Amino acid sequence: MAEAYYLFGKVHVAARNYLTGKRYFMKSLGIVEQRQQFDKVSRIYTRLSRLEKEQSDPHKALEYARLALVYAHRSNQKTLMAAYQCMSRFYLDVCHDALTDNQKNPCQDSLFFYCRQTESIAYKLRDSITIADISGILGKAYGLQRNPKAFRYYQVALQIDKALNHINSEAVTCLQLGLTHLQFNQPDSAYSWLKQASELYHSLKSQEFSLERDLANAYLQYYQQKKDWHKAFDQSMIVRGYERDQMTADRNGAVSRLSVEYETQKKEAQLINQRNELQLSQQNQQAQRWLLVILSVLLLGTTGASVAFYKISQKNHRLSQQNAALVQEQNHRVKNNLQLVSSLLSLQSNRLDDECARNAVGDSQRRIEVMSLLQRKLYDGDNLVAVNVAEFMKELVTMVIKAFEQEEVEVAYQIDQAMMLPADYAMRIGLIANELVTNACKYAFSDHPNPALRIEASLTGRTFQLRVVDNGPGFIETQTPARSFGLRLIQIQVEQLFGTYRFESNGNLQFEMTFNLIPPSSLRKKLKQPWPDEIA
């Protein structure tokens, strides 16, 4: 496809359809550049340089010629020779005026440098066509300088063209020999060469605009030197026609250049946009990859933490169940042991004959039953370390009253149904209440027609208050309360609670006790019980 595009470009350029020709060259160039075929890349840039020279754009022509030379250095000697040849043709056109006026100009040095480089490689490769072409360029350069060396170089080119039967090149060389003779003011010698060039061109049976134009200009110069003004005028009209065609071609070339430049800039803008979009897409993809990595890490971390927390939760749940089972088992065993002790005391009481001893054993049995009741409340309830004061107090009072067979006693309770106390507090309060109710049953209700008992308990902040009132005759507390074991037991329990108590006897017996729910650190460490604000 690249070769086909290249050949199409040559055909359209030969037909002076420069815009279409350049498009085909560009298509071919895109393919060979992608495949890094540097020899073909250099060849296309050489063609583009010639095309721009035909359209009178020297800057673009030089740019393409230099690109052809750059790629030629990365290819073979033949391609390099063609690139040097292209540079030689470019500088020949650029230095035309300087050579004619014999002015010293740097471009002349460049011209002869590239000509010598081309000639050296051509003779080394024995490339006859290139030798003929570069000889023609050198002949033209020396001819513009009116240097006789021009005839020698033209003769070399002419011999090669005849040997190779290149009629078109032979016609061009004959034309250049005729023009050189005209430069030396030798019109008669020039005419024979011009006639020979015309005959060779017509034998081709094809049209080539540049050769026809150059022949017309050469004949115009010939007639002018021969002072044949009528034929010179007619020939000038022919030259003007070629110039008009050339101007049309130049205009089309300018349009083609502008079109190509527009298309090129448009494609470059599209490429830049595509490149920016690709870069933005890559950045978005990279950001998405990083986000995916971070999310994956977070997900893995969350999963690992969830598994760890689940295992810890399961372990804690098992430990809690085990601890709860151990506490229940402990309370159950304590309750059983207390019941066993109570049973033993009951057996012992049955074997005693002394009434005082039997009463003392009975009192001890009831005290143990208070502790057994507390353990039963802990064992049966959902809370293993605290008891409901209202329920506990009601069962305790009922148990004592039944023990003394005084079910007719009217008991009034004023206790918050939701009040909870730790087991250690409940046990001491229970022992105190047991002693008070026992004393009431023994001494206050024995001969009373309407026995009544009122029990009040309240918890304000951390301050607990207990008040027990019976409607008995009351008593006056002696100065030595230790004689009564019950009073001594009450005193000991209150002291252990770091509280205060008092009795009042005004037609009845009133007991009031107050303490704070903040035990000393030694007791806290010993009991290891939670405080009320920690109880669920």
Q: Which of 85, 185, 192 is nearest to 136 (CA)?
A: 85
Question: Do 1-97 and 383-534 show the same overall fold?
Answer: no
Q: Is the pLDDT at 455 greater than 90, yes or no?
A: yes
For 245-290, what is each residue's pLDDT tens digit? 777 766 665 666 566 666 767 777 888 888 888 888 888 888 888 9
- The predicted model gives 318-340 an average pLDDT of 69
**Average confidence (pLDDT) over 477-487:** 56
How is the chain split into domains, by residue range?
1-97, 127-227, 383-534
Q: What is the mean pLDDT of residues 307-311?
A: 86
How far apart, in whole angstroms, are the C-alpha atoms of residue 139 and residue 412?
A: 145
Of the spans 79-93, 102-116, 243-257, 511-525, which averages the highest pLDDT?
A: 79-93
pLDDT band at 202 (very low <50, low <70, confident <90, very high): confident
Q: What is the pLDDT of residue 2?
A: 92
Average pLDDT estimate for 359-382: 67
Average pLDDT over residues 150-170: 89
Read off the pLDDT of each residue in 486-497 and give the average, rounded to a whole number: 88
Report the distance separating Cα 468 and Cα 457, nearest Å: 9
Regarding predicted confidence, which is higher, 139 or 369?
Answer: 139
> Do the strands 509-516 and 463-470 form a parallel or antiparallel pair, or are they unpaired?
antiparallel
CATH architecture of the domain 127-227 equals Alpha Horseshoe (1.25)
Beta strands at 420-422 and 452-460: parallel, antiparallel or unpaired: unpaired
* Lowest-confidence pick of 42-56, 120-134, 264-278, 292-306: 264-278
Spatial distance between the Cα atoms of 229 and 209, rounded to a whole number of angstroms: 25
Rounded percentage of the chain residues whose pLDDT exceeds 90:
15
User: Are residues 426 and 392 in contact, defined by beta-carbon separation less than 8 angstroms?
Assistant: yes
Residue 250's pLDDT is 62
Mean pLDDT of 453-468: 92
* Nearest-angstrom CA–CA distance, 87 and 42: 12
CATH number of the domain located at residue range(s) 383-534 in this protein? 3.30.565.10
Strand 410-415 with 452-460, pairing: parallel
Q: Please, what is the end-to-end C-alpha distance for the chain in angstroms? A: 90
Query: What is the sign, positive or negative, of the torsion defined by CA atoms of 320, 324, 327, 329?
Result: negative
- 529 has pLDDT over 50: no
**For the domain bounded by 1-97, which CATH number is listed?**
1.25.40.10
The tokens for 340 are 């066993």
pLDDT, mean of residues 434-447: 83
CA distances from 491 to 47, 360, 374, 470 (A): 126, 19, 21, 19
Distance of alpha carbon 471 from alpha carbon 277, whole angstroms: 100
